[in-house]
Amino acid sequence: METKPSAIGIAILIISGILILATLSIYGGIGSAETAVDFPGTVLKVDDAAGKLTVKKDGTRFTFVLGGRTQYAGVKALKELKAGDTVTVTYIVIGSQYVAQKVVKK
């Protein structure tokens, strides 16, 4: 005896697949075209509590979001940086945020 899948079963399977693909896309599993960019400049502001670093170069200013995955060289943590320090921030853009992958103090 052959059984045929029900329309509801097929619909649940399709919706589940769509949700899995959407989740992977949002969290960088697939479909994320993240290209790291280096931004060398001078530290303007350090906000350790908010996990943000503002850097300026030639009139261009970026505020980077830093987190537990951010790597450091020349310092061990964000709180060790201060205004006037020369740094290079390697970052990716996620949504509308510049997310620091690495901060190197010169």
Query: pLDDT tens digit string along 47-106?
Result: 999 999 999 999 999 999 998 899 999 999 999 999 999 999 999 998 899 999 999 999
pLDDT, mean of residues 28-45: 78
pLDDT reported for residue 29: 47
Per-domain residue ranges of the chain: 1-32, 37-105
pLDDT reported for residue 35: 87
Long-range contacts for 45-53 (Cβ within 8 Å, ≥24 apart)? Answer: 45/83, 46/78, 46/79, 46/81, 46/82, 46/83, 48/78, 48/79, 51/78, 53/78, 53/81, 53/87, 53/89, 53/100, 53/103
pLDDT reported for residue 87: 98
The residue count for the chain: 106
pLDDT reported for residue 18: 76
Query: pLDDT tens digit string along 8-18?
Result: 777 777 787 67
Cα–Cα dist 61/42, whole Å: 9
The CATH architecture to which 37-105 belongs is Beta Barrel (2.40)
pLDDT reported for residue 97: 93
- Higher-pLDDT residue of 5, 70: 70
